[in-house]
Amino acid sequence: EQGLKIERVVETHFHADFLSGHLELAGETGAKISYGSAAAGLTDFEIDPLVHGQRLSLGQVELEIFETPGHTPESICIVVRESADIAPHAVLTGDTLFIGDVGRPDLLSAFGRTQDEMARSLYHSLHDRLLTLPDATKVYPAHGAGSACGKNLSTETVSTIGEQRRTNYALAKMTEKEFVDIVTEGQAAAPLYFSFAAMRNRAARDHLDEAELPTALSWAEFTQHVANGAVAIDTREPDEFARGHLRGSRNVGLSGRFAEYVGEVVRPGEAIVLVATPGTEHEAKVRLARIGYDSVIGALVDPVRTMLEHPDHVQIASRLSAEQLESRRAVVPNLAIVDVRGPGEVDEGMVVGAVHLQLASLLQRASELDPAVPTVVYCAGGYRSSIAASTLRSLGFNDVSDIVGGYGAWKVHQSA
């Protein structure tokens, strides 16, 4: 409408938490794709690398590139000036600086870079580059609360350099070593899909077709795919799932951080079949594709009717109240209690005797639990615990319950 043409797609880094749309946008517009210079030679597609200090014009607006390695080696930030000769108006900080936090430096262990090495780079990127900007410079990060790319992300969407200098724990005056220690401590386990998505963002691939509907699967087709190793993901809410679900399915409710949590309990590349409320299958497929999980074979036709027709394949999930947990623990002395929350959450307290096993580590560490022992799982409110409990059942654990209301309900019960 404005007669403008998109000439360049600028990525702040290789994202790990979602599949970026750079290829689709470049394919539609013919635009160049740019990353920081450290990305040169790492992609399967052509890029036009950007170097520190390089300036791009957008009408009268000028964009200056800051190379800011730390979260990843190729990370950049983009300083925005309303014209070339005035003070910066804002800085687009990507995953280098968040509101209340900084980018986690521990995601590249699979690529041979240690978290301490990356944290040292991050320290200098912050202090030698971003913190040289005027205090009034607005800060626009790539993420807010809800992302696993940091441990203390704010719900706010904009701040200033000065405000972050005063309030961000990672920008307090400290030595490089103190910084390394503080930003590497207490990071949540990275979801299974993170390194996979980062590699997908480096690769040439088919463009994502968000209009494509999932294939409708008959009962016979569905069961054959499961027999061949596909993971059944039930996208209904935990309470509905608990009232009756197909044996072996894993519950990840569509109303929550659906794609991220599927990426914590399904390994990259595993085939997926969906059990979903009719009309929501397409949303589930698209959201999974956006983290690089494009292996959805299809969705079961009319799941409720199918379960009524095949009751031998249906089971009910045990969900306990906090009071029932206390009663059960009194009569089952070997009851295993598993806390699947993140590190910052367990700092607030745990159920006495519980084992801490983050949801993102469940598949790798499930062998530490005994499938023959009755097990109760809890999280903060009951969403992640249903994911964890159903995943354990799918792995052969026979007696698994979760806590309705999670640790919050337990605290209320204990204080009553």
Gyration radius (Cα) of the chain, Å: 24
Helices (H), 129-218: 161-167, 176-184, 193-202
The encoded tokens of residue 68 equal 């800011």
CA 62 – CA 42 distance, rounded (Å):
28
Fold of the CATH domain 318-415: Oxidized Rhodanese; domain 1 (3.40.250)
HSE on the CB side for 383, CA within 13 Å?
Answer: 15
- Helices 176-184 & 115-128, crossing angle to 10 degrees? 120
Q: What is the predicted pLDDT for the residue at 29? A: 96
CB atoms within 10 A of CB 53: 9
Q: Are 105 and 183 in contact (CB under 8 A)?
A: yes
The encoded tokens of residue 46 equal 């052509």
Q: Which residue matches tokens 């969900």?
A: 319
CA 35 – CA 209 distance, rounded (Å):
24
Q: What is the predicted pLDDT for the residue at 146? A: 64
Residue of 99, 162, 154, 163 whose CA lies nearest to 132: 162
CA 237 – CA 387 distance, rounded (Å):
10
Q: Are 326 and 413 in contact (CB under 8 A)?
A: yes
According to CATH, where is 3.40.250.10 located in the chain? 216-315, 318-415
3-state secondary structure 332-343: CCCCEEEECCCH
8-202 CATH, one of 3.30.479.10, 3.60.15.10, 3.40.630.30, 3.20.20.70: 3.60.15.10
The encoded tokens of residue 301 equal 């036709």
- The pairs formed by 219-225 with CB atoms below 8 angstroms and a separation of 24 or more are 219/300, 219/301, 219/306, 219/309, 219/310, 221/298, 222/273, 222/298, 222/300, 222/306, 225/271, 225/273, 225/297, 225/298
Class of domain 216-315: alpha beta
Q: Are 35 and 14 in contact (CB under 8 A)?
A: yes
CA 271 – CA 92 distance, rounded (Å):
37
Q: What is the predicted pLDDT for the residue at 112? A: 73
> Which DSSP helix (H) or strand (E) runs through 9?
strand 8-10
Q: What is the predicted pLDDT for the residue at 150? A: 67
Q: What is the predicted pLDDT for the residue at 154? A: 80
CA 233 – CA 2 distance, rounded (Å):
44
Averaged over successive runs of 10 residues, the pLDDT of the chain (416 residues) comes to 92 96 97 98 97 95 98 98 91 97 84 89 98 98 75 85 98 97 92 94 94 96 98 98 98 97 98 98 98 97 96 98 97 97 93 97 97 98 98 98 98 92
Q: Are 144 and 153 in contact (CB under 8 A)?
A: yes
Residue of 34, 20, 25 whose CA lies nearest to 6: 25
Q: What is the predicted pLDDT for the residue at 268? A: 97
The encoded tokens of residue 366 equal 């499930």
| pTM for the model | 0.93
Residue of 119, 97, 103, 135 whose CA lies nearest to 174: 119
According to CATH, where is 3.60.15.10 located in the chain? 8-202
